[in-house]
Structure 1
């Protein structure tokens, strides 16, 4: 009997962990339509909204998309994310550009007779 329960637990664990959280800032049409209550029209509206207005900062901002209300957000809130970790990455990319520009200035101000 013990192996039966262990197997059942293992199957349950796999099925619940297999469901991926979808980033509404990067999700494709197919990924967004896999969400309950989001069909092709609403998924397209999400994509158009983020292209026009920019990335979502909070999941709740999804209510600004035409056709999506509080009920749909409540239904899918555990299945979606805005990618909270994407903020520092974007800042790093900006900092990298600034560092490259700064290094370019240093190279230009360094006399050519000085060897590194």
Structure 2
């Protein structure tokens, strides 16, 4: 029961942190190869699910060399890639 409560509190804390980060305007480019999912989720067109998919793909297949490499992640197409131009670095 104590563990369950700890996990619940952690989940709440993470969701509050993610919401706070998501409300910030992304003005500094995000390093797509280093940023955690919480930061990636703040990028236009990404969100929590795609951010986690980016991290998992990055871990499985290595770093991204270009924006085009992001299209290897399911759900990220040319439109999203265009929206990320000048918002990410490698």
TM-score (norm 2): 0.68
Q: Which has the higher contact order (CA 8 A, sep 6+)?
A: 2
> Following superposition, which runs of at least 4 residues in structure 1 exceed 3 angstroms of deviation?
none
How far does residue 53 in structure 1 lie from its aligned partner after superposition? 0.2
Distance 1:65 1:40 in 2: 13
Q: Does 1:23 align with 2:23?
A: no
Structure whose CA Rg is larger: 1
TM-score (norm 1): 0.54
Distance 2:55 2:80 in 1: 16
Task: Give the alignment partner of residue 76 of structure 1, picking from 65, 68, 84.
Answer: 84
Distance 1:28 1:52 in 2: 15
Distance 2:87 2:77 in 1: 16
Distance 1:75 1:58 in 2: 14
Aligned to 1:49: 57
How far does residue 81 in structure 1 lie from its aligned partner after superposition? 1.1
Aligned to 2:19: none
Across the two proteins, how many residue pairs are aligned to each other? Answer: 65
Distance 1:59 1:81 in 2: 9
| Structure 2: tracts of 5 or more residues without a match | 1-25
Aligned to 1:65: 73
